[in-house]
Amino acid sequence: MPTESLREALPKRITIVEVAPRDGLQAEERILPTEAKLHLLERLANAGHTVIETTSFVSPAAVPQLADAEELMRRLRPRRGVRYPVLVPNEKGLERALGCGVREIAIFASASESYSRKNLGRPREEAIDDYRKVVRRAKDEGLRVRGYLSMVFADPWDGPTPTGVAVDVGRRLLDLGCDELSLGDTIGVGTAGSVVTLLDGYRAAGVRIDRLGMHFHDTYGQALANALAALLEGITVFDASAGGIGGSPFAKTAGGNLATEDLVCMCGGLGIATRPSGARSGLRACARAPR
């Protein structure tokens, strides 16, 4: 495809959801002090990020790296024009988040049965059912709700995820009332071809592409190629992590996330506007966090 034809097929602007403070830190062996996390959040905002996933209100016993969620949110100084979503696994997590004054949450489910049991401690159907009350309460409180769907291509226990299953579970999250759905290649086995197949499946199911985002891991060095494939399919929302840090504490084969600076660099070369842009990418913000 000639360069000009390629650029005509691409979006003019994308939204980057910076996930380093949550997804990036959750699998780290060393637990960062709250002060370091606040410094990281400040640096990411200074870099130009407009959406920074801040923490998760999961059980401190399950993810001790994020056990300071309440303290972090209470001490955070929100920047005008920056959104600070948090992850909640259940009604208890939502209550904790509401107590901290959050305005945006994310819920998460798995396309695979095994990962749902390992990550959420309950079967997939039960998890989706439980989220009905969570989303309803969040909406009643005026919150924006994002859905995460993990293991959309495969998982280490169940093997390849049938496209029909990934589409069906994702549609159900949207039907609960999620404003947006992020499709996660949790263990980084997706390819450009499987990205196209998955998005074709959502289109065929009547889901608008502008309601979807993509979350890639770079286990096999495919994250950027997959992002380009998604861009060509019309995706304009991408999760990325400063320095590519991150992974799942419940799926040890998961590699690092798509690096924010790599995505920004590629988009810059294609004439796609991003926040942050160019040299203001999140890597420097991450690197300067106190240790």
Q: The domain that contains 100 carries what CATH number?
A: 3.20.20.70
Residue-level pLDDT at 162: 98
Around Cβ 238, how many Cβ atoms within 10 Å? 24
**Averaged over 239-247, what is the pLDDT?**
93
Residue-level pLDDT at 2: 60
Dihedral through CA 122, CA 145, CA 206, CA 186, nearest 10?
-50
Residue-level pLDDT at 28: 87
Mean pLDDT, the chain, rounded, equals: 92
Residue-level pLDDT at 255: 65
Which of 249, 222, 243, 223 minimizes the C-alpha distance to 286? 243
**Averaged over 270-283, what is the pLDDT?**
75
Domain count, the chain: 1
Least confident of 107-111, 119-123, 174-178, 239-243: 119-123
Residue-level pLDDT at 120: 86
Summarize pLDDT for 37-60 with one digit per residue, the tens.
Answer: 999 999 999 999 999 999 999 999
Sorted by sequence, the CB contacts under 8 Å of residue 92 that are 6+ apart come out as none
175: buried, middle or exposed (CB in 10 Å: 19+, 13-18, 0-12)?
Answer: exposed
Residue 249, pLDDT above cutoff 50: yes
Report which secondary-structure segment, H or E, holds 110. strand 104-110
Residue-level pLDDT at 88: 98
Residue 6, pLDDT above cutoff 90: no
Residue-level pLDDT at 288: 42
**Averaged over 9-20, what is the pLDDT?**
97
**Averaged over 185-213, what is the pLDDT?**
98
Least confident of 42-46, 65-69, 102-106, 273-277: 273-277
Residue-level pLDDT at 138: 99
Residue-level pLDDT at 26: 92
Summarize pLDDT for 141-188 with one digit per residue, the tens.
Answer: 999 999 999 999 999 999 999 999 999 999 999 999 999 999 999 999
Residue-level pLDDT at 291: 37
Least confident of 39-48, 210-219, 278-287: 278-287
Q: Per this entry, what is the length of the chain? A: 291
Residue-level pLDDT at 10: 97
286: buried, middle or exposed (CB in 10 Å: 19+, 13-18, 0-12)?
Answer: buried
- What residue numbers bound the domain in which 36 lies? 3-287
